[in-house]
Structure 1
């Protein structure tokens, strides 16, 4: 009897998780964890942010990065820094990669120059 109750509870929980994951679009913002770096200079040679120069680089991983990766395809033929098993996609200042050897295989980067209010690349190759 206890086994049946546990199986029923697990089944109900999985159903709720699946239902939440397939929630129809409702036009509201969704919470998400994002990694960022505020800096001055160039990404490859970044310095602490200054009053006269502030740039922001974002790194996104997980399901949102996968959705972004899928949306901006196709794969680049020759991509800087790619290795065997790695795929790279770029559109404007957004670049996404898929690396099958990583725990979170999808990662996307983009950046903003805060003082100019313009988008920019968020990663080096």
Structure 2
């Protein structure tokens, strides 16, 4: 009886892992799609970076942005776009958005002189 229960448990576990497909956590790094911008001043009024004023804004897109968005519930209201079906999520200086067209985008920012987290997008 124990062998049968053990076999059933292993089958259920393997089936769950197989069914989850790519969602199974591997502990491995994944490729990242996105872009970055190094600037000085404020993001909404960026100027060329200087030796003493260098900031980094990072935009992450695609599946990594979707995974970040899904991890950051609940939605933040109102959305930056104001468009029907668009959704925003924010936690501290991390900002993610979903457009009704299906695109996910996340934004991070860092002050490169201090290493501190800052907003990576302006609404």
User: Where do residues 105-116 of structure 1 align in structure 2 (5 Å cutoff)?
Assistant: 105-116=103-114
Structure-2 separation of matches of 1:99 and 1:33: 17
* Superposition misfits of 4+ residues, deviation over 6 angstroms: none
Distance 1:23 1:105, change over 3 A: closer
Instruction: Give the TM-score normalised by structure 2.
Output: 0.76
Consecutive unaligned residues of structure 2, counting only runs of 5 or more, are 1-17
RMSD (CA atoms): 2.0
The runs of 5 or more residues in structure 1 that have no matched partner are 1-17
For the 8 Å contact 2:58–2:120, the answer to whether it is kept is: yes
Q: CA deviation at 1:34?
A: 2.1
Aligned residues: 105
Distance 1:75 1:29 in 2: 27
- TM-score scaled by structure 1? 0.75
